[in-house]
Structure 1
Amino acid sequence: MTSSTPAVGNAVTVLLYEFPEEYAQLVHKRFPSVRVLTAKDAASLDEQVSQADVLLAHRFPVEIFDKALRLRWFQCASAGIDTILPIRDRIGALIVTNVRGMHGEVIADYVMTGIAMMHWNLPQFLHDQSRKAWHPRALAPLAGQTLGVVGLGSIGTAIARRGKAFGMTVIGSKRDINEPVDGVDKLFPPESVAELLRLSDFVVLAVPHVPETVRLIGREQLRLMRRSAVLVNIARGSAVAESELIEALKAGTIAGAVLDVFEREPLAADSPLWTMSNVIVTPHIAGWMSDYDNRVLEIFNDNLERYLDKTPLRNVVDLNRGY
């Protein structure tokens, strides 16, 4: 058990789970009146969670929820809060916040890199290079191609802006289509996502992990897409029926896929996706920045100041919607 300051009176106690001790020291330096604890592993978390008013962690450890009797606020260090959803009916007045808005630009970098690689068929050029084979080929520019973004939260909106900067026609799907979205030429409600699939050269999934998005893309949806289309998934692996996607990729139902997330992670060594020439596989890194935890700490410290001042927190999650 570690503590930046001894427990005193009614001091707010913050528990950092799976963050280095130096982060606890930084929090305490900014908020000297706050008691800061760190838990490096499940055992120390189990020992200390009963003392915590505030928990900062990359995921919500549901296994210790019954011991977290003092917990009033959980700051999730990721945008997705799906780890808490199984117990959302039990959490009462617990405030849940996330770090949405932090990942948008870097994930947009990833998406546009993947789109450009697939559009130019760079995997094939790299294969040709390895064999010293000279095979020139021409293609249309990305400008004028249609980018379909399913889910226009902070990440999807950043992707849409980047696509528009590439000169693409950008269409998107979101719950409320009454308010325009910067960079999006046409909006579709969720029930009309089929039309978005038909119109898109590149389909990007940027939806949250909620029951409505599980297996959002399967055999039927893939058949609606253009045979020249590419699917990009930076949402959750559960959004795609993986075996049906593999069938479609093998059959040429769609041209290719850029996949950063999978139904099970790490992706199994025997998955056909690893060796398919029309697929780019990455290990869930699209939003993983080199200074990730520092950015999390900036958001957390801002929210902690608001919490101590009893003012509204940033990025409060609506657990009924799941994001």
Structure 2
Amino acid sequence: MNERLRTVLATPLDEELCRLVEQLEPRVELIRDHSLLPPMRYPADHAGDPSFRRTPTQQSLFEKLLDSADALYGIPGEEAEALHRTVIANPRLRWVQTMAAGGGAMVRAAGLPAHCLNQVVFTTSAGVHGAPLAEFAVFGLLLGAKGLPRLQHDQRRHEWADRWFMGQLRSQSILILGLGGIGAQVARRLSAFGCHVIGTSRRPIEPPQGVDEVVHPDDLPSIIARVHGLVVALPGTDATQGMIGAELLARVRPGLTIVNVGRGTVIDEAALTAALRDGRVGYAALDVTAVEPLPNNSPLWDLPNVLISPHTATADTREDRAIAELFAANATRLLDGLPMRNQVDTVEFY
């Protein structure tokens, strides 16, 4: 097909990668004015410098560009309000590529009417972040298994303690909540350690590579006591809100390690705090929290058996290029009438 896809750059992107998109799919006309976008402070800084401000004239020009697009590369300002305005104002808009793997949460927050959700395809960058998040998951499980809080305590006190038995991942059962792009990569890495890997899926599926068992999320209360580690790789939806709560944490194997690389809302943080204090959870490595940034008065900051990572485990200098390549491949699919990858479910918003 000779159809052109007028795409407006709505998020900062290096000019080299803009040209890469056009090279990979020549039917994409990537409209950009870098002076209207905030400068990036580091690679994959999709929101850009927060001190950046457009003049009224620049804002008018930027919105005029957005409202002329068939597709958007990114969400303007990474803001739900801006996404709402843009979709409502532009009846020709067909597609929005979000930068986040969990871009469905932003689409939900935009509060778009049904006719807009039917008009526009929203896609995410799912899969781009799988490798770095899988590494963080293994990192967190190792910290828990090796007793990092105890080691740090003794080191601070200059105590050479008697030898003690550290946990060994190869003898552990690990439960992965969510077997999407992230969960599947976690499973493959844990399989290499010799772990017994259990994954959850709402639909009957064959166990992916590295997964020994697949269970339904409704079965969590009956299996949680079997596992030594829990990796959360779920999106934030109404169905996953508070899934890891007081009732489930009451059933865990004492000393459980929890790693969250999904969304912070999946875990009830008050219940998690109580479980960390009484030893039901021995260690938690959290790259995400329910409210971000984590409020200064959260007890999670000060618990010795918690690692707080400020939603940075996905950061990778290659991220921008990977998303650009994904966008170009999806543009080809759209223009050729093929199903697009990573479409947001506009009912569950994941």
TM-score by length of 2: 0.82
Q: Is the CA contact (8 Å cut-off) linking 1:14 and 1:53 kept in structure 2?
A: yes
The answer to whether residue 198 in structure 2 is matched with residue 171 in structure 1 is yes
- SS of the residue corresponding to residue 159 of structure 2 reads coil
Q: Is the CA contact (8 Å cut-off) linking 1:227 and 1:253 kept in structure 2?
A: yes
Residue 48 of structure 1 deviates from its aligned partner by 2.1
> 1: distance between equivalents of 2:99 and 2:202?
25
Residue 215 of structure 1 deviates from its aligned partner by 0.8
Residue 100 of structure 1 deviates from its aligned partner by 1.7
Output the aligned Cα RMSD. Answer: 2.2
Residue 29 of structure 1 deviates from its aligned partner by 4.8
Report the equivalent of 1:101.
127
Gaps of 5+ in 1: 1-9
Question: Residue 228 of structure 2: which of 201, 210, 217 is its match?
Answer: 201
Question: Residue 121 of structure 1: which of 147, 155, 159 is its match?
Answer: 147
Residue 46 of structure 1 deviates from its aligned partner by 2.8
The answer to whether residue 94 in structure 2 is matched with residue 77 in structure 1 is no
The answer to whether residue 80 in structure 2 is matched with residue 87 in structure 1 is no
> 2: distance between equivalents of 1:282 and 1:88?
35
> 2: distance between equivalents of 1:32 and 1:153?
31
**Amino acid of the structure 2 residue aligned with 1:52:** A
> 1: distance between equivalents of 2:267 and 2:85?
28
Q: Is the CA contact (8 Å cut-off) linking 1:171 and 1:196 kept in structure 2?
A: no
Residue 264 of structure 1 deviates from its aligned partner by 0.9
Residue 130 of structure 1 deviates from its aligned partner by 4.5
- SS of the residue corresponding to residue 213 of structure 1 reads coil
The answer to whether residue 37 in structure 2 is matched with residue 40 in structure 1 is yes
The answer to whether residue 181 in structure 2 is matched with residue 154 in structure 1 is yes
1:1-323 matches, within 5 Å, as 11-20=4-13, 22=15, 23-31=17-25, 34-38=28-32, 39-40=36-37, 43=59, 45-57=62-74, 59=78, 61-80=83-102, 81-85=104-108, 86-87=111-112, 89=114, 90-135=116-161, 136-323=163-350
> 2: distance between equivalents of 1:11 and 1:171?
45
TM-score by length of 1: 0.89
**Amino acid of the structure 2 residue aligned with 1:107:** L
Decide which moves more: 151-160 or 136-145.
136-145
Q: Is the CA contact (8 Å cut-off) linking 1:12 and 1:53 kept in structure 2?
A: yes
Gaps of 5+ in 2: 39-53
> 1: distance between equivalents of 2:11 and 2:335?
23
> 2: distance between equivalents of 1:29 and 1:158?
30
Q: Deviations over 1:106-153 (max 9, x none)?
A: 211110011111211224324443444322432242211110011111
- SS of the residue corresponding to residue 214 of structure 2 reads strand
Residue 45 of structure 1 deviates from its aligned partner by 4.3
**Amino acid of the structure 2 residue aligned with 1:182:** Q
Distance 1:226 1:13, change over 3 A: same
Q: Deviations over 1:197-234 (max 9, x none)?
A: 22111011111221100111111111111111111111
Report the equivalent of 1:3.
none
> 2: distance between equivalents of 1:177 and 1:121?
36
> 2: distance between equivalents of 1:178 and 1:31?
34
Q: Which has the higher contact order (CA 8 A, sep 6+)?
A: 2
> 1: distance between equivalents of 2:89 and 2:329?
27
Residues paired across the two proteins, number: 314
